[in-house]
Amino acid sequence: MSSIGKSGETVQIADLAKDRMDTYRVPPIPFMRKARPYLILAPALLLTIGILIPFFISIYYSFTNYSFKYKDYSFVGLENWTLMLKDPSFWHSVWVTGQYAIFSTGAEMLLGIGVALLLNQETRLAKALRMVLIFPLMIAPVIATLIWQLMTNNSVGVIAHFLRSVGIDNFVWGADPKTAMFSVVLIDVWVYTPFVIVLVLAGLRSLPKAPFESAMVDGGSAWFTFKTLTLPMIKPLLVIALLFRTMISLQEFSIIFALTRGGPGDTLMSLSLTAYNEAFTYKELGTALPYMLILWIFVYIVSHYMIRYWSRAQKNASGS
């Protein structure tokens, strides 16, 4: 009876009323209209490709013995990788990295949730503090390290002064292997806890009132309400906070670098610090790259699954 008419084609269409075939020419879609979506996305795509290039270059050079000292280099295959995996200092840096991430993220999550719960009240104190407690997050971690160093400075620092007055005389913070991890984690917690607070507080303040009112009617302790009602509903935000903090603390560089450069000895030689050392002190690129690439692979996979988990948790939270 009739035939299709795609742009640019000539069509024959039956006109039943007049009992004949009509011919129409369908003009092609104007170029601008067709190109528009591509033009819009182009800048971001180009930039993304530009940014991905270093990643691929990293992978390439990790299979070589490239060094900043010499001009020539050659392929060594998986040698850098296997040497690294056999090297005990690699595993030590994994241990340091893991410790740092777990301690700081753990403390930040617990402290953050606690403070957020406290800030969720309508007292004047809570309302005033809500505005102001985000400030540490705005300070560059390097600067934060500087501040804490100054505060614990033996001659000038207020904290050192205070500790002395209660009898603690030789707390050396970063210089002592026993307290170095504590020091950097402390600074990390100081800077990043507000991140968790802001997220959790936002979640708490957006919760619907109805379920909580009926829980009050049913009677139940505050802890019970928290466990069965609050927690599931803010789970998506907790997942996000956990995801971000973990991923970022795994690769934290500035704080450790600024405080001790990875020392004392190799106490704080995380993966990032080791890579830095390898590349900028020993000037070896090929051996430094696998340290970061392994970290990247781990981060990418974990964040991929956590994001999937998060979108599912989001659906559940809105459903319940």
Partner 1 sequence: MADIALKQVTKKYKQHTALNGVSIDIKDKEFFVIFGPAGAGKTTLLNVIAGIAVPEEGVVTMNGKVVNSIEPEDRNVAMVFENYALYPHMSVFDNIASPLRSPRYRQPESKIKEEVHRVAKILRIDWLLQRLPSELSNGQRQRVSLGRALVRSPEVFLMDEPLTHLDAKLRHQMRAEFKEMQANLNTTTIYVTHDYLEALSLGDRIAVLNEGRIEQIGTPDDIYYRPATEFVAEAFGEPEINLLTAGIVRKGGEWYLNLLGDSDHFTVPRQVKSVIEELQLENVRVGFRPKDIKYSFTDDSASMLRAAVYSFEPLGSKAILTAHAGGQLIRLIAPADLEARPDRPIYLKFNVDEAIFFDERTRRFIARAGEKGGRFVG
Partner 2 sequence: MGNTNPFSKLLKNAALLLYALFALFPLFWMILISFKHDREMFNTVFLFHPTLENYKVLFSSNEYIGYFLNNVYVSVGAVLVSIVVGVPAAYALARFDFKGKENLAFTFLSFRFAPELLVILPLFLIYQKIGLYDTYFGLIWVYQLISLPFIIWILRGYFEDISPEVEHAGRVDGYSWWRVFLKIIMPLIKPGLVAAALLSFIFVWNNFTFALLLAGQGVITTTVASLKYISSDTVHYGQMAAAVTISALPEVILALLIQKHLVRGLSMGAVKG
Residue 31's φ and ψ, nearest 5 degrees, are -55, -45
Q: Which does 155 bind (CB under 5 to 8 A by kind): partner 2, partner 1, none?
A: partner 2
Q: Does 29 bind partner 2 (CB under 8 A)?
A: no
Task: Report yes or no: 183 and 174 within 8 Å, Cβ to Cβ.
Answer: yes
Closer residue to partner 1 in complex, CB, 28/265: 28
Closer residue to partner 1 in complex, CB, 4/132: 4
In the stretch 84-123, what mask flags binding to partner 2 with x, by CB under 8 A?
Answer: ---------------------------x--xx-xxx-x-x
In the stretch 257-296, what mask flags binding to partner 2 with x, by CB under 8 A?
Answer: xx-------------x--xx--xx----x--xx--xx-xx
The residues of the shown chain that bind partner 1, judged by CB under 8 A, are 2, 4-7, 11, 13, 17, 22, 24-30, 33
Q: Which does 11 bind (CB under 5 to 8 A by kind): partner 1, partner 2, none?
A: partner 1
Q: Which does 217 bind (CB under 5 to 8 A by kind): partner 2, partner 1, none?
A: none
Q: Which does 138 bind (CB under 5 to 8 A by kind): partner 1, partner 2, none?
A: partner 2
> Smallest Cα–Cα separation from 250: which of 91, 100, 55?
100
Rounded to 10°, the helix 88-119/124-132 angle is 140
Q: Does 47 bind partner 2 (CB under 8 A)?
A: yes
Q: Which does 124 bind (CB under 5 to 8 A by kind): partner 2, partner 1, none?
A: none
Q: Which does 126 bind (CB under 5 to 8 A by kind): partner 2, partner 1, none?
A: partner 2
For residue 264, is the peptide bond before it cis, meaning its omega torsion is within 30 degrees of 0? yes
Q: Measure Cα distances from 82 to 67, 79, 90 in Å.
A: 18, 5, 11
Q: Does 155 bind partner 2 (CB under 8 A)?
A: yes
Give the whole-angstrom CA distance, residue 249 versus residue 100. Answer: 7
Give the whole-angstrom CA distance, residue 79 versus residue 63. Answer: 7
Within residues 206-235, the interface with partner 2 by CB under 8 A covers 206, 216, 222, 225
Closer residue to partner 2 in complex, CB, 179/225: 225
Residue 263: Cβ-neighbour burial (10 angstroms; 0-12, 13-18, 19+):
middle
Closer residue to partner 2 in complex, CB, 21/110: 110
Give the whole-angstrom CA distance, residue 164 versus residue 90. Answer: 38
Residue that the structure tokens 């080791």 belong to: 274
The one among 13, 102, 107, 134 contacting partner 2 by CB under 8 A: 134
Category of 264 on φ-ψ map: left (φ > 0), alpha (ψ -120 to 50) or beta: beta
Give the whole-angstrom CA distance, residue 144 versus residue 134. Answer: 14
Residue 190: Cβ-neighbour burial (10 angstroms; 0-12, 13-18, 19+):
buried
Distance of alpha carbon 233 from the chain centroid = 22
Q: Does 149 bind partner 2 (CB under 8 A)?
A: yes
**Could you tell me which stretch among 21-29, 77-85, 98-106, 298-306 binds partner 2 (CB under 8 A)?**
298-306
CB 8 → partner 1: shortest distance, Å?
A: 10
Q: Does 318 bind partner 2 (CB under 8 A)?
A: no
